[in-house]
Amino acid sequence: MSAVSTNTTLRDRVSELMPQAHDDLAALVACKSVADPRQYPAEECLKAAQVVIDRFTGAGLQDVRLEETPDGHPAVFGHRPAPEGAPTVLLYCHYDVQPPLDPTGKAWLTPPFELHERDGRWYGRGAADCKGNIVAHLTALRALGGELPVGVKLIAEGSEETGDGLERYVPSHGDLLDADAIIIADVGNFAVGVPTLTTALRGYAEAVVTVSTLATPMHSGMFGGPAPDALIALIHMLATLRDADGNTTIAGLPSDGHWDGVEYPGEQFRSDANVLDGVDLIGDGPVADLLWARPAVTVLGIDCPPVVGSAPAVPAQARALVSLRVPPGLDAVRAQEALIAHLRSVAPWHVKVEIEAESPGQPFSAATGGPAYRTMDHALEEAYGRPVTTQGVGGSIPLCNVLHETLPKAEIILLGVEEPTCLIHAPNESVDPREIEKIALAEAIFLASYASAH
């Protein structure tokens, strides 16, 4: 059968499977699989894991089972052996989700753990991140049926949002997970209908900085003026992390990186990021450069006296959590060292400064010249009917570096259903079912054709 007729058949099969894809996603979304027993019972995660086990067993994988990981949250593993001489593909996804983040119950328009259709989209916590990607994997395998010319392995993580169990599991299980290509389905397209491969992930470096000036808070009427204000000192230090135009300005870190992939129009970014009307975007240069090719600093939180309940006293101590996103090409450890050195160098008035470094995560850059990448590029173009572009992701997936270190010969490909309007991690998360359909079709075409390209 020719490639054209094969792809047409797969397109029809995937289309016919979309009602089942809806049912698969509904079953997964119904599981309150937040991997934090302080918020939801651990049984909810196990319930989601069992759905994954049952559905992938039904889709033709063998010995689909729980694998214990060091943080106590099991992963689901399954496989189907490769024909003689054929390559193996490892499919990654995660079945845990973020909490609904809506203590009032008013932000969600429909119950977060029920799948609801509205305006052509499917709503529910995890509908995109990452249960929609699980369903894309499932639909691709179902479309292929018994026609699998490659080996397939599945690893579905149980604590991606809150833990590091799989990151610690992988190094000692390289033989189990060994593959020629790894499809990380935990990202998405630049926009609905725009086939996109993610080729870069920013790393991160964080530090908690504490400023102390007085043995105890002192009455601002009696001592304010010459008494050094710890909070103002901290604010002064934090203000030096960006210049007047909003560029990150940390001594020793370059801020002139350029992104060679997709352009990100400013107006589209304003909409995607929910920037308020009249508020400027910050930084000099194209949005894509600022977002994916340059370091970016954010103050995640400050400990200081609250407005309600504060006293007329000069603050004696204040602290902040500072986060630095690190683009490919920079080392996260050295970036963290530069951040800490910068903060110390700008502290005014000889205030006492203590800085606690959090564990950094390295950025990731995907190799794009191998047969798996070329095959997926073609598969996405076939599925979407338009050329493929590339993007970075501002967030981090530390597992990618662990997989690369453990399985250095495997090509790692990042794609998925999580385009910007999905509102992952926010109330009213949703997925466009057309994205599930097309990503599933692209993956099916890839699995059908990769062996001949390997």
Catalytic residue positions? 96, 160
Tokens 């690190």 locate to 326
Nearest CA to 242 among 363, 339, 317, 319? Answer: 339
The CA distances from residue 175 to 105, 172, 305, 338, 369, in Å, are 46, 8, 53, 38, 25
Query: Chain centroid to CA 203: how far?
Result: 11
CA dihedral 370, 371, 374, 377 (to 10 degrees): -110
CA dihedral 215, 219, 220, 224 (to 10 degrees): -50
Tokens encoding 345: 């160098």
